[in-house]
């Protein structure tokens, strides 16, 4: 049985404007893990192998910016262009019936100071292969500078509008409704805007006495001129002071990845 006791990573990164070339060269990509799963011994196509996973290879990489925050990862614009071994095997060519092992990027996680991406291939390295090479790009939104905006009294009702600097927001709906995860009733507020709401780093709510009203941001998204963010509260709220911390320099960055992993056998 093959063992894979070490991983060596050689990575080069190039970021598109407005990042300066010297800044782009300092971006880091570090290997966080490698998993190789052989076909199950029973020979059944739908069986799982080791780690309760389908056959294939997964490389996990961590992307660290030079400064500022990684606001989000765009999985739809991120691509894996090649995934090969040093014997010339195209690991992306193999097909997988598992929805959790599709070739390309798998799970992605954003922790602001870094992003973790899983790179999957359903194929396996050829016998005697010692290295894996991956190329592609990761599409990110990054920002560094923030500014705080305070809106003293916002009515939590449909149609109410307010601004966070140049960012115009509207409450599209507010009221009690069924939780998306259970039959429990909860109070929720939907904020919408024609601008990208990912520019809001944090939004807090306060009552007339200055006490913070706890809220959870449970869904967000949108595009093509209409973005939304939904918050849920423990109890109904008629109005509140909103303190929003907003990124002032949100921008898209494409980080091309060139990863080469050495595999010991």
167-176 pLDDT per residue, tens: 999 999 999 9
Alpha-carbon gap, residue 115 to 117, rounded angstroms: 7
User: Does the structure show a pLDDT above 60 at 72?
Assistant: yes
pTM, full prediction: 0.75
Neighbours of 259 (CB within 10 A): 20
DSSP 8-class letter at 21:
H
**How does residue 217 score in pLDDT terms, banded at 50, 70 and 90?**
very high
In this prediction, residues 29-42 reach a mean pLDDT of: 82
In this prediction, residues 29-52 reach a mean pLDDT of: 75
Alpha-carbon gap, residue 177 to 185, rounded angstroms: 5
**How does residue 18 score in pLDDT terms, banded at 50, 70 and 90?**
very low
Closest CA to 61 of 24, 12, 98, 23: 12
**How does residue 44 score in pLDDT terms, banded at 50, 70 and 90?**
low
Q: Are 234 and 137 in contact (CB under 8 A)?
A: no
User: Does the structure show a pLDDT above 50 at 250?
Assistant: yes
User: Does the structure show a pLDDT above 70 at 47?
Assistant: no
Neighbours of 44 (CB within 10 A): 9
What's the distance, CA 52 to chain centroid? Answer: 24
């Amino acid at each position: 049985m093959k063992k894979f006791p070490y991983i060596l990573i050689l990575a080069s990164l190039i970021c598109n404007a407005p990042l300066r070339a010297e800044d782009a060269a300092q971006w880091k990509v570090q290997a966080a893990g490698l998993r190789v799963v052989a076909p199950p011994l029973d020979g059944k196509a739908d069986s799982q192998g080791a780690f309760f996973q389908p056959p294939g290879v997964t490389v996990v990489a961590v992307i660290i910016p030079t400064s500022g925050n990684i606001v989000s990862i765009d999985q739809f614009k991120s691509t894996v262009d090649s995934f090969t071994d040093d014997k010339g095997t195209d690991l992306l060519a193999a097909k997988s019936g598992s929805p959790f092992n599709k070739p390309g990027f798998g799970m992605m996680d954003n922790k602001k100071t870094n992003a973790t991406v899983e790179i999957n291939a359903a194929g396996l390295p050829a016998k005697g292969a010692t290295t894996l090479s991956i190329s592609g790009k990761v599409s990110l939104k990054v920002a560094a500078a923030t500014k705080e905006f305070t809106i003293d009294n916002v009515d939590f009702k449909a149609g109410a509008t307010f601004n966070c600097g140049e960012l115009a927001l509207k409450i599209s709906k507010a009221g009690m409704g069924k939780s998306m995860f259970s039959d429990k009733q909860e109070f929720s507020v939907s904020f919408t805007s024609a601008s990208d709401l990912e520019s809001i780093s944090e939004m807090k709510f306060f009552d007339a006495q200055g006490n913070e009203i706890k809220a959870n941001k449970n869904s967000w998204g949108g595009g093509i001129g209409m973005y939304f963010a939904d918050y849920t509260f423990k109890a109904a709220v008629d109005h509140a002071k909103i303190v929003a911390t907003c990124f002032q320099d949100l921008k898209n960055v494409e980080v091309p990845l060139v990863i080469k992993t050495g595999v010991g056998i």
